[in-house]
Structures are given as C-alpha cells and as structure tokens.
Chain A
Amino acid sequence: MLSKELTAASSVSIILCTLIGGESYGYEIIKKVKDASQGRILYSDGTLYPVLRKLEDKELILSEWRIAENQKRRRYYTITAKGIMQLKQEKLSWEFMNGLLNILWAPLPLTSV
C-alpha cells in the first residue's frame, strides 16, 4: 500500500486523469482509481469530495447536478480547459520526479530488498 502522503500529493493529478476520458461522478472516480491501481490506492471515499470542491474552486473542473439512470440526483464532474493545462503541467512534474528518482536510486539493489 502506498503512503498517505504520496497518495495525497498525487490526488489532484489522479482525479484530473480520471476525468480526461469524459464526465464522471464521485463513486465512479473512486472505482476508476481503485481499478487502475489494482487496489493499491484506496481513498477514504468521503475525503474525495473536499478535493473535488478544491478543484472546482480553482476552475480545473466543473460540476452539474443531473438525474442519473437510477432516477436519483447525481453530481457529474467535467474537466475544464484550464484543468487540462494543469494536468499537462502535473504530468511534466511527475515525469521529471520519476526520472530524477530513477537516476538517484539506480545503484541501489532494490530487487534484493
């Protein structure tokens, strides 16, 4: 299981990524993340929504209440153009971090640990 700190630091990028493929709602976002990470990233579901609020405040996503197929009101989230730009920046940052760590821990015999 990944550390809480790393999960929290990557949450914005991860949530924005799940919305690239199209609009989604809270429960579906959680499921997508769980499936993509093969269960290694498990958000406490309730804490996803404050992050969504924060992203909406920054205009990286938009939300809209609609009636879902189960005839209940559901809030759908869509990524904005600003959100896509932010995601590109995040991608560059994470790629840089990944490259940096690959260089730094290259001499370590990680497989034997």
Chain B
Amino acid sequence: MGTTSSYISLKLAEWQSNLTRTSLTNEDREELTAHLEDMITELTELGLSEEEVWSVAAKRIGSISAIEAEFEKVNPDIPFRKNGLLMIYGAVIMLFLQSLFVVVPAFLFRVYHQQGARAVPSNDNIWPVAFNILTLSLIGIILAFTFKGRSLAKTISKLAFKLNILTAFISAAVVIVSGFFIIQLISLGELDTLHTTAPKFKTLTQIFYFGLIGLIGYFLLIGNNQPIRTLSVFNRKINWKTSLLLGGVACLAIIFSYTYAISYLPLFIGCPLFAALGWMISFSEKKGINLFCAQLPLILFCISELSGRYAHMFGKYYLITLCFLLTGALYQRTRNYLINLLGVSS
C-alpha cells in the first residue's frame, strides 16, 4: 500500500474509523482491512482512477452494517454484549447524575452542619441558593436531552469509545464514590432546623426523579416500536397503555406539586397537563378507552385518599382536572365545528 494515493488513504482511514465503531474484534477488523488493501492494490494495477478504485473496492467489500450483521449471525453473543454494555453505561450515567444532583449535595449539607454545630453557627442561606442552582441546571439538562437528545447520546457514545479502557475506570470510580456518599447519608432532615433548605432539596429531587420517569417512559415507548417521530403521528397512535402511562406521569406531577405549601398548585400544574393530554388523545382511534385510562391513575389516587383528611379536596381536584381532560379532548372537534359554521355562514 506504499503507492496508495492520498485520496484512497483518506477514504481508507474513514472506512477504518467507521469499522472501529462496530462490534467486530480487532482481528476481524485487521483482516478486513488487509482484504480491502489487497483489492485496492489489484484495482490500482489495472489502471483505474482513484475514485473508481475506491468505488469498486468499497462496493465489493460490502457495507459495514451488512458485514456487522453477518458477524452477529455467527456470534449471537454480540447483540447481548452490546446491550449489556449500554445497560452498564446507562446505570453509571444514572449513578453519576444521582450523585451530582442528590447524594453529594445532601452529604455536603450534612457535613457543613455538623461542622457548624461544633464551631461558628453556619450561614444557612447558601444552601437554598445552591439547591436552586442545581435545580436549574437539572432543568437545563432535561431540556437539552429533550431537544438535542440524539446528538448528545452520539457524543457520549463517541467519548466512551475514545476513552476506551479509561471508561471502565471512570465507571468504577463513579460507582464507588456514589456508594460511599449514599452510605454516609443518614438523617439529613434533622439538620435543617429552620426548614429553609429541605423544600429546595425536595424540588431538586422531585425534578430529578420526575425527569427519570419521563426518560423511562420515552424509552419504553421506543422499545415498543411506538412511532414518536412527530407529535401528530404519536397522537394518532396513542393506545390504552400509552394513555395510562401519560396519565400516570401527569398524576405524579399533581402529587409532587401537592407537597408544596402553595395554594392550588396541583391545579395549576394538573389542569394544563390533563388538558394537553385530552387534546392529544382526541386524535387517537379509541378516544373513550384512552380517556378512561388517562384519568385512571388520578382516580385511583383519589380513592386511596378517601379515608384521609383531604378526601374532600382531592375529590374536587379530580373533578376539575377531569373537566380539563374532557375540554382538551373536545377542543379540536369544537374548533372544527366552529370553523365550519363560520365558514358556511360567511
């Protein structure tokens, strides 16, 4: 390959780079590369132009995805290894985020207060601010993954590949550090004597776990081959399971918001969510069943609260959110009806 032109060298390097992203072993890659180089040498000796040489050689060796698929047939263990690796990376990223946003801040808060009890009284004002900043950062990350999830996942996977064996060390470090901090976290609530920090910490953890629930729901939908490329396609394909899942998420948002001492917050959060859900379901095929499933988590929650002190209030909340769900469901039909009516009359 000493006489290979810079064009072919470049193409070959690009091809090799793509090959390294597959599940093929080093030996498989080396053998395929040697094969391609032999072919290029032979085609070059035939007097073909550089472009022709590369075009013919690349066509003959076949597409990388086809080669990988053939190797996977021979070694059925490959998909399992790939999925296992993805699972491990997912768990490590999860642990890292949990440590960064929940466990380490809580641990530092604890250490800070323990030191403060022994020496000078501590300045508690910085903790609510710190938790607010973390909450905003978390919202930022959630938004970034919502809008740029695909490219971010690609970048992370590239980075993991580049770091290679270092990734394993980083993963182990994350697991060990996360485990250490979790063990240290005992009786955090007792330290917040003024009750200024706990609500901020609560918001942070709720957004963290709410984001996580959203992520699980999203990947479950992808796993079930639900078409979610666009909202309108997704709306048309909503079934009872999706409705139940979305209703559950909206119900959780209401439950979370109820833990704040802000009047009518569950309604401010729940009504728009259920109205949007109703609007989405109005495009689906089995609207009745889907609407029933969407409100099911909320009514189950209300039933579980029937014997409690707030049964009356939850009953009202349920009825109001149900109205919004139905309003959302009827919105599109009413709008079309009015447009037709006005169009005809004009």
Contact = CB atoms under 8 A, between A and B. Distances in A.
Interface residues of B, number: 21
Nearest to A65: B27
Given A44-B66, A75-B27, A50 B71 contact: yes
Contacts of B306: none
B57 to A, nearest CB: 9
Interface string B62-73: 101011001101
| Contact-residue size bin, chain A (C-beta under 8 Å from the other chain) | 10 to 19
B221 interface: no
B70 A47 contact: yes
Interface in A27-83: 27, 44-47, 49-51, 53-54, 57, 65, 72-75
A27 B39 contact: yes
Interface in B18-35: 27-28, 30-32, 34-35
Nearest to A72: B34
B61 A53 contact: no
A57 to B, nearest CB: 8
A44 B60 CA distance: 6
Interface string B36-72: 0111000000000000000000001110101100110
B62 A47 contact: yes
B313 interface: no
Contact of B62 (A26, A45, A65, A75): A45
Contacts of B35: 26-27, 45-46, 49
A46 B70 contact: yes
Interface of B is mostly: helix
Contact of B32 (A46, A54, A57): A46
Interface of A is mostly: helix
A27 B35 CA distance: 6
A74 B36 CA distance: 12
Q: Which has the most chain B C-beta neighbours within 10 Å: A53, A57, A65, A74?
A: A53
Q: Which has the most chain A C-beta neighbours within 10 Å: B32, B39, B70?
A: B70
Given A44-B61, A53-B75, A75-B31, 9 more contacts: A26-B34, A44-B60, A44-B66, A46-B32, A46-B35, A50-B67, A50-B74, A51-B70, A72-B37
23 contacts: A26-B35, A27-B34, A44-B66, A45-B35, A45-B60, A45-B61, A45-B62, A46-B32, A46-B35, A46-B62, A46-B70, A47-B62, A47-B67, A49-B32, A49-B70, A50-B70, A51-B70, A53-B28, A53-B74, A53-B75, A65-B27, A72-B37, A73-B34
Interface of A: 26-27, 44-47, 49-51, 53-54, 57, 65, 72-75
